[in-house]
Structure 1
Amino acid sequence: MMSARLPLVIDYVDWLKFLPNPPLLTSFQSGWSSIQLVHSCQPLVDLPEVSNPQHMIVIPMGHQAVDLELVFEGRKQVVSYREEDYASGCIELCPADLSYGLRSHSTVKTMEWIHCYLEPTFLAQIAPESVNPDHVELLPTLKTVDLLIHQIGLALKSSLEVDGVGSRFYADSMATALSAHLLRHYSTRKHQFREHEDGLSKQKLKQAIDYIQAHLGEDLSLSEIAHELGMSQYYFCRLFKRSTGMSPHQYLIQQRVERAKQLLKYPEQTITFVAMECGFANQSHFAKCFRQCTGMNPKQFRNS
């Protein structure tokens, strides 16, 4: 039964304590800051009424027929998922501090989903040039087709599985794109982002490139570069891509690979050393990025 008491306020880590199975994957140990991800497969759920300090985006997965009984601020609603719904890119959105409860009914014994938890302060501050941080409020949304959010969730999951601790910069980039989309389409008031026909000025572009080059070997974050240029993450990403034809993340990986190609010319330096020196999380992350950029792995390149 749903509790009649005041909702419990739980963080994304505490949320897992209500579930019988451990998660299949989380971002908790990967250095992500603006967004967190949980991939979980659970038996039928009976969750008391709770609220989260983060905005929660739910991406149902699998193919099981599931009926969900949700309580949003005391109002009961039933949402049904069938096999075709999973393929269509359905998502759900529970804004921060909104109380909700959940009970699942199903003929099968498990349900699978991705949860993305987005910090409200990050959402409100991605583009202060266009968005008043004091007037950001999201709308609760149940079972809505949104292919962009669905793809962002799957891309974050894939990046976390492959790159682990090397995925922070990518997570920042995806969180920025996700936040802008939420503000455009799921906010209680319409936020208009200023469009810029030109990219970064020559001076700003040089400043950004110099900063990236100087910190290639570090665990660089998107927010650090944007702060260095004195602009928001959203506009930095937009203008940088307009100037270079690449996202900041793509450029960062490309430049790390270019530096690695130079270091690989010295046979006394191990491939593991080169990976660490160029800012890759580990040797497998290095090999994957190197192959994507060059068509060969580091060892093949060294021997070519």
Structure 2
Amino acid sequence: MAESGLTGSKGSAATPAHRGMRLNPVNFPFFRTETLRYRVWDRASAELCRLEDNPDGFERAALPFHVICMNVGSRPTPFEVRTDRRHRRTYRHGDHMILPVGTAPAYAWEGVTRCLTLRVEDEVLRDYAEACGPAFLAEGHALRDDRLEQLMRLLAADLRGEGVNRLYGEALVQAIVAAAIEADRGPRSRPRGGLTMAQARRLAELIDARLGDDLSLDALAREAGLSRFHFARCFRTAFGEAPHAYLTRRRIERAKAMLATGARPVTEIALDLGFSSHSHFSATFHRAVGISPSEFRRASRM
């Protein structure tokens, strides 16, 4: 039966050798898997993979990162994990496993299934601690948490999607980490206040000047002089929307001006504004405006 809350030992801090690691699923495989989709950010990576039948077990050294894993397969999967003790569970669709940095697990499982694995460096938890207070991830097996499951589903959808929005992915990682920390402790106090007028102006100017770039939360947070967790919440207070939503809206506004006043091909406009393809741009534009870029261009010149 699935456990209702996070239990077990608290995760230890990462050693200096683990800081700044590039969490590439190719270099640090979590299981014996076939990778279906993956994405890498500065301090985290996510992988959607297929688990092969492995009843004989698999061992590895201590994890240099925190791991949050969710079963996204359609069938229940008998799973055994050995850390400081043996954990035998049947993982159903939506069940989670959480392993803190430093855990040295051994695994065995039966059958073939799919899972979504998020690997996070300890520095992300230190950002949370700076903004919200002490932060620990507790080891847990076959967990059920509605908030965490919903966020992990959004992450899986992002991995499957065509467009890549770095700010959106990093915001999801932050939200998942916060949900995992708070699952059995309750929400921590949130920082009050927002950005100063000078900070907000600098950020707006930076974003407008780099609409075609792959902006990261780290870059925006450094500009504001804040941690990533603190910055994301202060940005929403100041601008009324999340950083990724503001960036997308400004890109669409710039695209409308370019479509209305110029003759450049739609594909060129899409790539110049940071969209991965013509189809990604068209779909995003249609959701925001209600018509396609080409239809908007024709309507603006009537």
TM value normalised by structure 2: 0.82
Equivalent residue, structure 1, for 2:62: 51
Per-residue CA deviation, residues 1-43 of structure 1 (Å, 9 max, x unaligned), is xxxxxxxx99743443962x52111114xxx222211111222
User: In structure 2, what residue type is equivalent to 1:68?
Assistant: F
Aligned length: 276
1:67 aligns with 2:116: no
Structure 1 runs, 4 residues or longer, greater than 3 Å off: 9-12, 14-18, 129-132, 182-187, 190-195
The offset of 1:205, in angstroms, is 2.0
For residues 72-221 of structure 1, the aligned pairs below 5 Å read: 72-73=83-84, 75-81=85-91, 85-86=92-93, 89-105=94-110, 109-126=111-128, 128-131=130-133, 136-164=135-163, 166-185=164-183, 192-196=188-192, 198-221=193-216
Aligned residue in 1 for 2:280: 285
Given that 1:34 and 1:172 are in contact with CA atoms closer than 8 Å, whether structure 2 keeps it comes out as no
SS of 1:40 mapped into structure 2: strand
User: What is the CA distance between 1:49 and its match in structure 2?
Assistant: 4.0
CA distances 1:89-147 after superposition (whole Å, capped 9, x unpaired): 42110111201111113xxx411111111111222124524446xxx542111111122
CA contact (8 A) 1:172 1:222 kept: yes
Aligned counterpart in structure 1 of residue 26 of structure 2, from 4, 9, 13: 13
For structure 2, the residue ranges without an aligned partner over 5 or more in a row are 1-17
Aligned partners of 2:131 and 2:46: how far apart in 1?
Answer: 28
Given that 1:38 and 1:116 are in contact with CA atoms closer than 8 Å, whether structure 2 keeps it comes out as yes
* Structure 2 counterpart of 1:5: none
CA-atom RMSD in angstroms: 2.5
Alignment of 1:21-36 (within 5 A): 21-28=33-40, 32-36=41-45
Q: SS at 2:103's partner residue?
A: coil
> Distance between the aligned counterparts of 2:256 and 2:78, measured in 1?
53
The answer as to whether partners of 2:47 and 2:117 remain within 8 angstroms in 1 is yes
C-alpha deviation, 1:55, in angstroms: 0.6
User: Structure 1 counterpart of 2:191, which letter?
Assistant: E
Tell me if the contact between 2:152 and 2:176 (Cα under 8 Å) persists in the aligned partners: no
Query: What is the deviation of 1:154?
Result: 1.9
Instruction: Tell me which residue corresponds to 1:3.
Output: none
Conserved 8 A contact 1:199-1:240: yes
In structure 1, what residue type is equivalent to 2:224?
L
Please state how far the C-alpha of 1:191 moved relative to its aligned partner. 8.9
Output the CA distance in 2 between the equivalents of 1:263 and 1:227.
Answer: 30
Aligned: 1:295 with 2:293? no
Does the residue aligned with 2:34 lie in a helix, a strand or coil? coil
Q: Does the aligned pair in 2 maintain the 1:61–1:112 contact within 8 Å? A: yes
Question: Is contact 1:218-1:279 (8 Å) kept?
Answer: yes
CA distance in 1 between counterparts of 2:220 and 2:251 reads 16
In 2: Cα distance, 1:300 partner to 1:246 partner: 28
| CA–CA separation in structure 2 for the residues paired with 1:56 and 1:268 | 49
Matches within 5 A, 1:213-292: 213-292=208-287
Q: Percent identity?
A: 24
Deviation per residue, 1:212-251 (Å, 9 max, x gap): 1121121111111111011112122112212332111111
Change beyond 3 A, Cα 1:126–1:283: farther
Query: Which residue identity is paired with 1:39?
Result: L
